Each structure stands twice: as C-alpha cells, then as structure tokens.
Amino acid sequence: MSSFESAFTAALSGTVSNTIVYPLDVAKAQIQTSGSASTFPPAAKQLQQDQKKANDDESILQCLIRIYKKEGFKGLYEGYGLSMGSGIIQTFSYWLIYTLIRKKYYKIVCQRHLKNEIKTGKTKSTLKYQVLLSAWEELLLNITSASLSNFVTTPITIVSTSQKTAPSKSLKDHVLKIYNKNKSVLDFYKGLKISLLLTCNPAITYTVFKKIQHLIIKSYSHASVADSAKHDYSIDDTSVRLSPRINFMCGMISKIVATLVTFPLILAKVNLQNPNAETPYNNIFDVLINFYKKFGIKGWYRGLMIQLLKNVLNQGVNSMVKGELGKLVLGLRKTLNHAKC
C-alpha cells in the first residue's frame, strides 16, 4: 500500500478499536488521577470526590458501574469527540510519517546491501525485496515517527484528559482553565517531555508486532526467494498477509510487552497532564515519588489491570481491523487495475 493508504487504514481501524474500549479509557483516567483534588467549582469538586472512590479496592467493573449510575451512558463516553479527533490525527500522522521515513531509509539500506553484493560478485535482482530491517532499526524509525506526531496531538490530549476527569464543564471552559493557570500556551504542552519519552511504547509495540508476524509468515511459507520478491518490504504491511485471528493475537501480545515495560511512565504522564489537580506535579519524579509515598511500590502500577485490558483489547482489534482494511484496499486496487486493462 502507499503511505497515504497505510495511514488512512490505520486511522480508521484506530477509530473503531478506540470506540469499543473508550469506556475503559474514561475509567482508567479516573483511577489513575484519583489521588488529586479538583480546583473546579462545587459541582465538579463533588464529582472529583466521587472519583476518589476509584481506589485500589475498586474493580474496573465497579468503576464503570459508578460512572454509569452517576452520569448514565453519556458519562462512559465523556470527551469522546475530542479524544477521537486526537486519536485520528495522531494515528494518521504517525503512520504517514513512519511509512515515508521507512521508505527513504529502506532505499538507503537496499543500496548499501546492493553495493556489498556487487563487490563480492553476487547480484540478485530481487535483493530489494529480501532485506529485512533489524529490531533496533524498526525501533528507531517508530520512535522518530511517534515523536513528530506528538507535537501535534499533545495539546488535544491535555484538554481531553481534563474532560475525562472533570466532565461537567464545556470544552471552552476546559481550554480557558488550562490557559488561565499561567496565561501561557506552554501549559497545553505540559507533559510533552514524558510523551516523547513514552514514544518507546508504540515503538516497542509495533517492533514486537512486526517481528512476531515475520516469524509466523516464515513458518507458514518458509519464505522462498520467489515468494519474498512479490512482497514490498519498504512499507512491510505484514498484516495483509495474515488472518484476522493471527493479527488480533499479535497485536495483543505486542501491547502486553510494551505496557509492562513502560507503565510507570504512562501513570506519570496521565497525572502530569491532569489540569484538575489542586497541586500540579512538576515532573516525572514528582509523580512517582508522590505515588510511592501514598501507595508504596504498587502505586507505580496503579490502574495497571485496566490499562492492560484497555490497551491490549484496543491493539488487538486495531491490528485485526487494519489488516482487513488493508486487504480490502489492495483488492479494490487490483479490481481497478483489471478494469483499466
């Protein structure tokens, strides 16, 4: 697929998966920020007190039931529009940047390999389709892409977090509240440093995802040269070569690995970007030290189960839908090409 097609299918599949798990995202935000007090007026303060009930003893289901009883179905999708907008922009920009960068880098790698083959007297016309990037190369490409997309989406994430943790206010009120704290637009980029640090999460996810898929594809086809030559690894849409069930499982496994490795940073990011805290945190260490004092070492993994449930399910559905959309796009392109002939 082209860079645009890959970005489009990723954004669409991300919207589908995020819509399914969004109530879990709302509950996660409340659980992970339940230690902070609100600076909103009485009605919002009462809501914040309700959120404090989302402590270590409250299960995911209990949290969802509490939100539903308090606000109804609407409460489970509080801030949905802005959050989806942010997700679409971030996913589209991430995949567009990633595929463009990967194509350029892949071309350089292929040229280098080809020169080495010529020097040793080995020339293969299918060489450019046979080069697979290493895990470290994939990781760096993913980190670069995620970092660039974060500059666009961090302000939207800040406002979206505010909506989820204090949903009684309008979008305008949330924006003004964030700005009026210090009269600076820099407040909309609070937590950007940790967001950049957390680019390792999607980077690990997609790197592990691709490596698992390559192992499965290799075990299926034993990767003959002729078969490999038919596939363009410059974008490497491995999902279109596997079944929905396999893509779903690959997505889940890769996200479990990434979440377990980066969870304390995820917790710190959510709390740094929560504008409703009475005493805002200053940095990553401030958050981690505070949670350690309150809850011990387990405080660094506060909300881990709901994070795993939400992210693992999200990534599984996302990977499955993206693979099927990719197959649909390639099928339509093939049909159009036949029609032209």
Short-list 94, 131, 91, CA closest to 110: 131
At 176 the pLDDT is: 78
Low-confidence ranges of the chain (pLDDT < 50): 37-48, 51, 53-56, 126-129, 223-230
104 within domain boundaries? yes
pLDDT in the model for residue 249: 94
Tell me if 334 is assigned to some domain.
no
Q: What is the predicted pLDDT for the residue at 316? A: 94
Domain range enclosing 137: 3-329
Given this model, what pLDDT does residue 258 score? 92
Residue 245 included in any domain: yes
Tell whether 100 is covered by a domain: yes
| Residue 335 counted as domain residue | no
Helix then strand count (H, E) for the chain reads: 14, 0
Give me the residue label for tokens 């993913």. Answer: 142
> Which of 251, 261, 267 lies closest to 320, judged by CA?
251
Q: Is 229 exposed, middle or buried (0-12, 13-18, 19+ CB in 10 A)?
A: middle
CATH of the domain at 195: 1.50.40.10
End-to-end CA distance of the chain: 20
216 domain residue, yes or no = yes
pTM (predicted TM-score): 0.71
Question: Residues of 258-291 as b/e, b for ≥16 C-beta within 10 angstroms?
Answer: bbeebbbbbbbbbbbbbbbbeebbeebeebbebb
- Count up the domains in the chain and report the number: 1
Residue 341 included in any domain: no
Confirm whether 338 is domain-assigned. no
- Which pLDDT belongs to residue 256? 94
